[in-house]
Structure 1
Amino acid sequence: MQADLDAYFEHLRSERQVSPHTLDGYRRDLIKATAYCQEQHLAGWAELKSTHVRQLIAEQHRQGQSSRSLARLLSSLRGLYRYLNQEGRCAHDPAVGISAPKGEKRLPRLLDTDRAMQLLDGGVEDDFIGHRDQAILELFYSSGLRLAELVGLNLDQLDLSARLVHVHGKGNKERVLPIGRKALEALQTWLPLRALSNPADRAVFVSQQGRRLGARAVQLRVRQAGVRELGQHLHPHMLRHSFASHILESSQDLRSVQELLGHADIGTTQIYTHLDFQHLAKVYDQAHPRARRKQDSEQ
Structure 2
Amino acid sequence: MAAGGTDKDFKLVIPDRAVKCKDGDDVTLRGHLSPEISAVAMEIRWFKGTDCIYLYRNGHVIEGRGYEDRVSVDPQQLQRGGVSLTLRSRWEDWGVYTCQVISGGHQEEGRVGLMITYWDDWDGLWEITAAERKKMEESVQSLVQALWFCGSCPSVVLFCAALQRLCPAAGQVTPAVLPVVPLTSDFKLVIPDRAVKCKDGDDVTLRGHLSPEISAVAMEIRWFKGTDCIYLYRNGHVIEGRGYEDRVSVDPQQLQRGGVSLTLRSRWEDWGVYTCQVISGGHQEEGRVGLMITCKSSVSLL
TM-score, normalised via structure 2 length: 0.24
* Higher relative helix content: 1
Bigger radius of gyration, 1 or 2? 2
TM-score, normalised via structure 1 length: 0.24
* Higher relative strand content: 2
